[in-house]
Structure formats: structure tokens, C-alpha cells
Structure 1
Amino acid sequence: MIKPKALKKGDTIGLVAPASYALKKDINKSINFLKGLGFKVKLANNIYSKYYCFAGEDDDRARGINTMFKDKEVDAIFCIRGGYGVHRILEKIDYEMIKQNPKIFMGYSDITALHIAINNNSNLITFHGPMTVSDMKDGLDDFSFKSLEEILITGKDEMEIINPKDEKIKMLSKGKSSGILTGGNLALLTGTIGTPYEIYTEDKILFIEDIGEYTFKVDRMLRQIKLAGKLDGLKGVILGDFNNCIKEDEGDQSLMEVFEEMLSPLDIPIVYNIKSGHCTPNITLPLGAKIEIDANNLKLKIIEQVISHE
């Protein structure tokens, strides 16, 4: 996998809006936050646009991604928010051009579909992490910033993925393994199945998170993934934050009961309560990088350098 160049103060961060629109005042607040950290900011042309629920028409949103990767002045690309819209532009992205112009690309939620497509088609490590309007407009909490900094700026050869001190990593299934990290939002990665942009999971460690889905829907999505063969050959599973994923009816399975029934029989290392996803703090994870999962000792470790210091 291609490793993008490390981020440093004074670099230019390109802001893109490939999904839903955001309010201008919130975009501007997030710009000021980044500038306050010592970065320059460049905006995609559609950044303030609104077309139905989207940040501009499909062609404009795709052009924003392509332009920022091609722009030699831009050192890293941050998404302003998720929402909905990325699936509508996947076939409009120039993946070969991205491969020739690798740089940090970060976001989560609806951005999952772009992570998978870029990992697969551009062979580039991308980053599941905070977005500017969603997470930075009022400042970024210290833990999330430190996680982002260690991954995107410091970039050691090996580093442990740690939870906030008051949130314990927990084990669903014992074991120890290593593999390439893939995944993101469960609903979005499920939506890639059967398309040219579907997720590849064999010999990989699958990370999933979600928000606001009833537990029966989580069950249905996991069963779709299973029926599509995407649980076969996994090396491990990391369960991120499942914010407000509750029972619709008292008779429904709990979230943990769904996970236990669907995932425990895989007989691979599985950990849960990793604070990455629609949550605060929000851990930054390198998708496409090799990591180690040690469920026995409740440890996660990145075991290769994920950015380039050249």
C-alpha cells in the first residue's frame, strides 16, 4: 500500500464536501480551527454549495475530490462531514490519478465508501478519523487530537491504538492475529457489496461502527455481509462505537447478543468498545495498514509505518 506524506505545521489542508452540505458558519468555524493549529486551508469549489441534501450536484462533489488530489499545493484532504451522497459519485472519481498523487485523506461515516474505493483502486492508505464540521468546528477534544497527531504527524513504525482511560477495550472472542485493516461504517460498507467498489475482507481485520440503527438492522446487515462471504477468512474483528444502536422492541436482541450470535462462531480475535466512529473522543485509524489484534491482552497495535517522512 502507498503511504501518504506526513502532515506538518504550515502544510495546506484541502477541505472537501463529497456528501451532505454543511452550514457556512460551521464550515468557517472549522477553517478557523485549522488555521489556529498552524495549517493553511484550501476549499473545494463546492464547499458552500447546496443541492437538495447534498453539497452540490454529483459532478461538482466528485470534481472537488479529484481536484484536491491533483492540486500540488494541497498536502492533505479532510472531509467536512458525512451524511449521504458518496455512493452517487464513486464512479466519477479518478482513482489512477489519486494513485499518482497520494496524500492524506480523512473522514468517516458516509466517507467509508470512498475509503474502500480508494484503498482498493488507488492502493493508498486512508484514515478513518475526525471531520472538520462534524468534530472540529468547536475545537477538537485533546484525546482525539492526540490520536490524530500520532497517526498523521508523528507516524512511528509501530504504535498502540489506545482507548480513552475511562473506556476499556473488551474481548468478545479470544485470540491474536495480524492483518490489513479495512472497514468503517457498517451500513455504508454493506452498501458496497455487489458493486465494483465492494469491500474485500479475506485475510484482513474488519473494523465496523454505526449510529442510530436498531439492533435488528445491525443483525440484518451482518447477515448480508455473511451471506456475501465477507466474514470468511477474516483475521479479526474490531467493533467500534455503535452510538444509539438500540432495540426497537423489547423482544429484540440486544446489540451484544447480535454480535455474539453473528461473530463469536468465527473463532477469531474480536474486541469491542473501541472509541472510533460517531463518538467523542474519536480515534483515528489507518485503513489499508497492517495492524495486530491481541484480544487476550486487550491490545491493538499498528505494526507498520502508515505515513511517509520523505
Structure 2
Amino acid sequence: MLSHRLKPGDTIGIIAPAGPVDKHKLEKSFAFFENMGLRIKLGAHIYDQYGYLAGKDTNRLADFHQMVADRSVKAIIFAKGGYGTGRFVDKIDMELIQRNPKIIWGYSDITCLHTAIRQATGLVTFHGPMPVSDIIKNEFDPVSAQLFKQLFDPTNLIYSESISPLTVYREGEATGKIVGGNLSLLVQTLGTPYEISTKDKLLLIEDIGEEPYRIDGMMNQLRLAGKLKDAAGIVIGDFAEAEPERPPSLRLEDIWKHYIRNYKKPVIAGFRIGHCFPHFSIPLGVKATLSTRTKTLQLTPGVQ
């Protein structure tokens, strides 16, 4: 299910479903959206704080439901990640989302929302940079900014080595819906009603601040759960701040090779998707093709 594209003059809703938001930092991001001709509506609890959370679970959930129900709001943009979205994922009114499908945009801790919403409703959502986490930073670049235009015009995206060097770990070509996101959040879904389905899908993984041994453990958990075997191919995004705190350590390349050593499907690493710049934003749940022959990831539009 695709959401309707944005038009100049539309209103976007900004809420904080995870970590607390600095008011000054969020307000710095407003110009970016206003320059695209968008109006901004903030969640009632956007600046709440409850420890490491942006307010109580009930209030963060209420902000989300309010934005979904508000017919004037055409897209929901999450202010930042952090931690906490999974605390209310089982309370989300999926029927409300089905009745009011709209653009949902974010990444990192938002991965659990992407997975739960897509698998319950079929709605395509967007893995992309967020106001406080990315847009206000000096490193926020033209490529990352340009990709927001896919929300205004249905766009066939092509990721090639014109954006970053890519490393082929297993040859092949596969087509399927692209799913996934933050590796640690994907692992947290295992054994729950929101466990990610990778059957015949392209699996995207990325993360930040995880040492190689931790990434190794999470990949092993996906392996034992059958998620790697089920996938049609693997898209390895950015793994930022993954340096080991002390030697000895395996390299990330060693970990990838270990977990796909008997894999018969395409695996490519080096995609600038995740906690990085440029941050190549993509729709999740659309048909995509991963090809090692052309070293590309091609995706169909996420809006209509």
C-alpha cells in the first residue's frame, strides 16, 4: 500500500517516539521543510522528557495516533531515534493506520515501527534521515537532501557506485520487497509477534556504535532464526562507529564472509544507508532488485 505524494502547502507532523528532543535543535530543522513548501505541526508531547525517553509511553503513543488520525497531516516525520519506540509497538492501532495511510519517515529505533506497521497493514514506509539526528548537522549533504524529493514525485531509485564504492560478497541477482533497517532493532523483534519476515525479501541491515563481536552475535541470531537463509539477498548498509574498543578483533569483512560463506544469493556491502552521510533514503516494502552484475540496488517508488 502506497501513500499519496506530498504537494507544496501540505502539512507534516513531527513527533518524538523514542529519545528526548532538544527544542533549539528541532527548530533549526524547520527551515529545511519550509523551503520545500511544507507546513509543520508538532506533537503535543514533542518536548516531554522521562529519563531517556521523550515522555511517558502513553503520551508518545498518543502523539503518533493523533498524527495518523489528523487528515490535515500528510506525512509523519520522526524527530530522532534513540530508544523507546518498541515499548509501545504492541499498542499501535493498526486499523487506524489502514484507514489513514500516510508517509511515515525515520530510521534507527524507528525500525521496529517500520517492521510492525508494514507487516500488519502492508503500508510502505521510509527509511531516511531525521531532523535532529541528521538534518541540522553540518555534514548533511545535497544527496541526502535531494532524496526527500521522492516524497513529492514517484521516483525509481538507483543506488550505484556513483554514490559510494560497493563490495560484492556473493554474486547474483534477486528481486523482492526490501525490508529491514537497524540490525539491533531487527534482532529485538525475534520471538515476538513483530518478528521480521525475510522470506523471499531483500534484507537491509545497518547499525551504529556496535563493536564487531556484538555485530557477530546479532548476525548469528539472525542465522539461527533462519532470517538469513530465508532472504532473497542481503543489502549491507553503513555500520558507523564499529571499531573494537580493544584488540584482538575480527573485521566486519570477516563477519560478513563468515555468515554468507555458504550463501547462494547476492550480497553487497558499502551502501550509504544508515547513520552516515550521504544518507540514501529508501522506501521499505517496495519491489527492489539487487544485482552484482551491475552493482546496483534499484527500487520502485514509495508514493503514488
TM range (shorter): over 0.9
Partner of residue 147, structure 1:
147
| Larger mean Cα displacement after TM superposition, 108-117 or 224-233 | 224-233
User: Per the alignment, in what secondary structure is the counterpart of residue 77 of structure 1?
Assistant: strand
Deviations 1:195-253 (Å, cap 9, x if unpaired)?
11110001100000001101000000011111111112211000000001123432221
Please report the TM-score for the alignment, with normalisation by the length of structure 1.
0.94
Matched, 1:98 2:97: yes
The residue type equivalent to 2:111 in the other structure is T
Please report the TM-score for the alignment, with normalisation by the length of structure 2.
0.96
Matched, 1:250 2:244: no
Partner of residue 307, structure 1:
303
Matched, 1:194 2:202: no
Matched, 1:159 2:157: yes
The correspondence of residues 43-192 of structure 1 with structure 2, limited to 5 A, is 43-138=42-137, 140-149=140-149, 151-156=150-155, 158-162=156-160, 165=163, 167-192=164-189
Superposition deviation, residue 164 in structure 1: 5.5
8 Å CA contact 2:161–2:296 kept in 1: the answer is: no
User: Per the alignment, in what secondary structure is the counterpart of residue 191 of structure 1?
Assistant: helix
How far, CA to CA, are the matches of 2:186 and 2:281 in structure 1?
18
Partner of residue 221, structure 2:
224
2:210 to 210, 213, 234: 213
User: Per the alignment, in what secondary structure is the counterpart of residue 241 of structure 1?
Assistant: strand
Deviations 1:239-287 (Å, cap 9, x if unpaired)?
0000011234322211110011012422210111100100011011111
How far, CA to CA, are the matches of 2:67 and 2:92 in structure 1?
12
The correspondence of residues 270-285 of structure 1 with structure 2, limited to 5 A, is 270-285=267-282
The correspondence of residues 33-52 of structure 1 with structure 2, limited to 5 A, is 33-52=32-51
How far, CA to CA, are the matches of 1:55 and 1:257 in structure 2?
38
Superposition deviation, residue 11 in structure 1: 1.0
How far, CA to CA, are the matches of 1:233 and 1:129 in structure 2?
25
RMSD across aligned C-alpha pairs, in angstroms?
1.4
| Larger mean Cα displacement after TM superposition, 28-37 or 74-83 | 28-37
8 Å CA contact 1:147–1:284 kept in 2: the answer is: yes
Superposition deviation, residue 163 in structure 1: 5.5
Percent identity of paired positions between Structure 1 and Structure 2: 38
The correspondence of residues 282-297 of structure 1 with structure 2, limited to 5 A, is 282-297=279-294
Number of residue pairs the alignment of both structures matches: 303
8 Å CA contact 1:59–1:92 kept in 2: the answer is: no
Superposition deviation, residue 138 in structure 1: 4.6
Superposition deviation, residue 162 in structure 1: 3.9
Superposition deviation, residue 48 in structure 1: 0.9
How far, CA to CA, are the matches of 1:256 and 1:68 in structure 2?
42
How far, CA to CA, are the matches of 1:297 and 1:163 in structure 2?
9
User: Per the alignment, in what secondary structure is the counterpart of residue 200 of structure 1?
Assistant: coil
The residue type equivalent to 1:266 in the other structure is Y
8 Å CA contact 1:239–1:273 kept in 2: the answer is: yes
How far, CA to CA, are the matches of 1:177 and 1:101 in structure 2?
32
Unmatched tracts of structure 1, length 5 or more:
none
Q: 1:56 to 1:193 in 2, by over 3 A?
A: same
How far, CA to CA, are the matches of 2:286 and 2:253 in structure 1?
27
